[in-house]
Amino acid sequence: MRFPAEPFRIKVVEPLRRVSREERVRHITEAGLNIFAVPADTIYVDLLTDSGTSAMSDNQWAGIMMGDESYAGSRNFYNFQKAVRDIFGYPFVIPTHQGRVAENLLFSTVLKKGDIVPNNIHFDTTRANVQHQGAEAADLVIDEGLDPSSLHPFKGNLDPAKLDRLLTEKKGRVPLVMLTVTNNSGGGQPVSLANIRQVRVVCTKHGVPLFFDACRFAENCYFIQQRESGQANRSIEEIAKELFSYGDGCTMSAKKDGLVNIGGFLAMKNEEWSKAITNLLILIEGFPTYGGLAGRDLEAIARGLREVLSEDYLAFRTGQVAHLGDLLDQAGVPIVKPVGGHAVYIDAKRFLPNIPQSQFPGQALVVALYREYGIRAVEVGSLMFAQPDEKTGEMVYPKLELVRLAVPRRVYTTEHMRYVAESVIELFRDRDKLRGLRVTYEAPVLRHFTARLEELAPEPATR
Ligand code: F0G
């Protein structure tokens, strides 16, 4: 594969501190082996998330200086509204300070207790916001989307037959269908235009609106251009316009494909919903022309949304992530394939077959990556998802035990990716030295953010 070279040059640098292994051991021990609790300036390559971690362009920074901080009617709001209308095509545009607020506003307006929201796979905050209304979140991704070894090019697709069945059986209980592009919880996998058209047909048949969770829409559109027949000669903007034309609205965290550090929005066709949401917005976020953001932030989003449509940028972006995946794959490190748009997911079950899920192999890997190499990844496995069965009390472990290496946009060079690959490969060779973990403290919900753990004593090998 071609070496993905950066389609930008570097004008401002942020020095990285290289700290000693000794210092990292101290920090991770004090943190109770929880990677969320280590100081970020002790990390060399931080792959915790691609959210809010982008580097902005000179054009965006110039826009920041053009911030109009008027309480109402800021010119930046109009630029922002125009960018959203141009690309997404929805007339009513409501700014929020991040994606989950857009979700909360939408769901608290349109959901009631006992409702159901289908999605390919809900992202954690989307699921939590659906459940917060007493509604149920149903994941209807195609079966291939749950199989880490399937090479299906659009593993984010939603199964239209499952959707049709659910809308028939639960008639009147589904106020909207969501579709996450790309499907983050399924590995950053894209959804095809053909699938979106099918989902639209099913939604129309049942008279239910379709909303996109559009966080990574540009990456999704790039995969459509590259992988879907008949799409190769279309621009990303054309594909995006067609994609959103099949929907009735979207929620968006601009912290991803908005190329900014903070921001989000809701956009929709339904005027009545938008009015009700706007009233709520004024109550909890801010006036409708700023929605919890500064004028300068709105300007940076307006510019970021246009920049992210660049094919050169998207080829590099997805190429850099794929390159990291290829380096690991070639060395035999087990990863989820095909590599998604924003992250490489290591299959921790196969990486550490000697550590059972009850001893958190994913988290053991995360801890070792920080301790040995100063790299921060995040566990998406049993620490995050294992829960006792409501009836039997027995622990139920998630099917997938993954470690996510999420790549921030325009922040790290391909040499940084090589450093990460070499480190993971070295750790893979030394994997027999890693030990399982035990939880010593956990919160009742979302325990992975604050849990404390310790390493188990070495045991004689049983295999
Ligand atoms: N939807 C998806 C698909 C997401 O990935 C995220 C955030 C959100 C909604 C919520 O947006 O953070 O702006 O409130 N994902 C981040 C991640 C946190 O690391 O994957 P937010």
For position 40, which CATH number holds?
3.90.1150.10
Any atom of ligand 1 within 6 Å of the Cβ of 349 = no
CA–CA separation, 399 vs 381, rounded Å?
A: 8
Instruction: Identify the residue whose tokens are 């929020």.
Output: 96
The number of beta carbons lying within 10 Å of the beta carbon of residue 162 is: 17
CA–CA separation, 271 vs 139, rounded Å?
A: 28
Residue 434 lies in a domain: yes
Residues 291, 315 within the same domain? no
Residue 9 lies in a domain: no
Nearest-atom number in ligand 1 for the CA of 103 is 9
User: What is the DSSP code (8-state) at residue 192?
Assistant: -
The number of beta carbons lying within 10 Å of the beta carbon of residue 113 is: 8
Q: At what angle do helices 217-227 and 236-245 cross, to 10 degrees?
A: 110
> pLDDT at position 397, please?
93
For position 245, which CATH number holds?
3.40.640.10
CA–CA separation, 246 vs 268, rounded Å?
A: 12
CA–CA separation, 368 vs 17, rounded Å?
A: 19
Residues 236, 318 within the same domain? no
350 CA distance to ligand 1 middle (Å): 27
- Number of domains into which the chain is organized: 2
Residues 317, 283 within the same domain? no
CA–CA separation, 115 vs 171, rounded Å?
A: 10
- Among 280, 307, 334, the domain boundary falls at 307
- Do the Cβ atoms of 138 and 173 come closer than 8 Å? no
Distances (CA, A) of 13 to 9, 10, 73, 451: 11, 7, 35, 34
Residues 264, 356 within the same domain? no
Residues 292, 345 within the same domain? no
Residues 138, 119 within the same domain? yes
- Among 307, 324, 342, the domain boundary falls at 307
Q: Which run of H or of E encompasses 195?
A: helix 193-206
> pLDDT at position 460, please?
62
> pLDDT at position 387, please?
85
Q: Which residue stretches of the chain have pLDDT < 50?
A: none
User: What is the DSSP code (8-state) at residue 394?
Assistant: -
Any atom of ligand 1 within 6 Å of the Cβ of 189 = no
Residues 322, 300 within the same domain? no
Any atom of ligand 1 within 6 Å of the Cβ of 99 = yes
List the alpha helices (DSSP H) in 175-310. 193-206, 217-227, 236-245, 271-284, 295-307
Residue 3 neighbours by CB under 8 Å, 6+ apart: 323, 414
Residue 416 neighbours by CB under 8 Å, 6+ apart: 45
User: Which residue's alpha carbon is nearest to atom 11 within ligand 1?
Assistant: 99
User: Which residue's alpha carbon is nearest to atom 16 within ligand 1?
Assistant: 51
Instruction: Tell me the one-letter amino acid at 222.
Output: Y
Residue 340 lies in a domain: yes
For a pocket test of ligand 1, which of 49, 51, 124 has the largest count of ligand atoms closer than 8 A to its C-beta?
51
Residues 391, 266 within the same domain? no
Range of the domain at 441: 21-50+310-455
214 CA distance to ligand 1 middle (Å): 10
Residue 4 lies in a domain: no
Residues 70, 199 within the same domain? yes
Residues 265, 129 within the same domain? yes
- Among 307, 328, 346, the domain boundary falls at 307
Nearest-atom number in ligand 1 for the CA of 183 is 3
